[in-house]
Chains A and B, each alone.
Chain A
Amino acid sequence: MTFSPDIIFSFFTLSGTLWSILGVTAVIFVGYSVILLYHWFRYAFASPLTFLFLTIYFGISAVLFGVLLTATLIA
């Protein structure tokens, strides 16, 4: 008997599974970002570098979430 990743999707629809993963990822990302923001504003002050870092971090994250959402909608 060989393992097939398709077994996972025999219980759920592909689209539903991707939406679930996307939701969990979004929750984890928000929690993680709150911790990150806390550290940056608590210890590194609200300097221009902090804002630059946060812009890059959230900018690229937004693009990646956009790709995730697009892939989920296509599926």
Chain B
Amino acid sequence: MFALKENETILQTVRKHWFVLFGEIAGLTGIYVLPFILYAFLKNANLPLDTLKNFSLLENGAVVLFAGALWTLCIWMKAAAIWTDYYLDIWVITNDRVIDIEQIGFFHRETSTFPIERVQDVTIRIHGLIATLLDFGEVHVQTAGAAREFVIRGVGKPRHIKERILAEHSRVRRSPSSSPLRENGGV
């Protein structure tokens, strides 16, 4: 995934909240059931005989079974992609830096790193009733000299993450010489 420096330890690995995954899977489930609802409608609707003759394949059990299994396989493969995207999209907080790994589909992966000591501001945003109840939201980190703001969306316990980053930032700023990486010439 990435190489840790000497004396660098992982303090926390942050993933998006399970509700974010649940939302995507629920959407996919909605798409999945649509053809089955349509099929049930066509089977039970009192359509004119001429119309029914045009869809005689719907009466063939083997074809219906084949189509159903094929559609299920397609949705299943998409679900695997959603899970992979969710699982590989992480923030890793170490005692020296924060590593932001963003997986966007199979062929787009971004890895950004910012040192803890360069953190200037950490902001959290929690929108909506569900996010408030389940405690997930966005964490924005502004760093000195950074070209962009680092953001992780839909993350669980954002307050805890903010406190963790700020606590580590304070520790590094308080005693820069205590940073094990600097003693070894890192960063």
Contacts and interface: CB of A to CB of B under 8 A. Distances in A.
Interface of B is mostly: helix
Contacts of A75: 60, 62-63, 66
Instruction: Give the interface residue-count category, chain B.
Output: 20 to 34
B106 A71 contact: no
Contacts of A71: 62-63, 65-66, 69
Nearest to B53: A4
Interface of A is mostly: helix
Contacts of B65: 67, 70-71, 74
Contact of B73 (A9, A18, A25, A70): A25
A74 B61 contact: yes
B61 A21 contact: no
A68 B66 contact: yes
A57 B75 CA distance: 12
Contacts of A32: 77
A2 B54 contact: yes
B170 to A, nearest CB: 32
Nearest to A72: B66
Contacts of B66: 18, 21, 68, 71-72, 75
Interface residues of A, number: 32
Contacts of B76: 57, 60-61, 64
B69 A64 contact: yes
B77 A29 contact: yes
A65 to B, nearest CB: 7
Nearest to B85: A39
A45 B1 contact: yes
Nearest to A5: B57
A60 B72 CA distance: 10
Interface of A: 2-6, 9, 14, 18, 21, 25, 29, 32, 35-36, 39-40, 43-45, 53, 57, 60-61, 64-65, 67-68, 70-72, 74-75
The 4 closest A-B pairs by CB, nearest first: A71-B66, A75-B62, A67-B69, A74-B62
Interface of B: 1, 50-51, 53-57, 60-63, 65-66, 68-70, 72-73, 76-77, 80-81, 83-84, 87-88, 101, 103, 106, 109
Given A29-B73, A36-B81, A44-B87, 20 more contacts: A5-B54, A5-B55, A21-B66, A36-B84, A39-B88, A40-B84, A44-B1, A45-B1, A53-B87, A57-B80, A60-B76, A61-B77, A64-B73, A68-B66, A70-B65, A71-B62, A71-B63, A74-B62, A75-B60, A75-B63
